[in-house]
Amino acid sequence: MIKKAVTYIKDVRMEMSKVSWPSRQELLGSTKVVLILSGLLSVFMFGVDTVFNNLIKLLL
C-alpha cells in the first residue's frame, strides 16, 4: 500500500513538472477578464430579473 502511494506521488510530481504555468502578467490579465465578465453578467442578470419581475407583477 505504501509503495503504491509513493509511486503515485512520484508520478504526480513528474506530471506537474510538465505543466506550462502562466506568467504573473498572464495570470493578472486573465483575472481581470474574469472579474469584468462576471460583473457584466451579473448586471445583465439583474436587468433580466427586474424586467421579468415587473412583467409578473403586471400580469398578476
Please write the tens of the pLDDT for every residue from 6-48: 999 999 999 999 999 999 999 999 999 999 999 999 999 999 9
Q: Is residue 57's pLDDT more than 90?
A: yes
pLDDT for position 51: 98
pLDDT for position 28: 97
Better pLDDT: 1 or 29: 29
Q: What is the DSSP letter of 22?
A: P
| Separation of alpha carbons 30 and 33, rounded Å | 5
Beta-sheet strands, E only, within 8-60 = none
Q: Is residue 1's pLDDT more than 90?
A: no
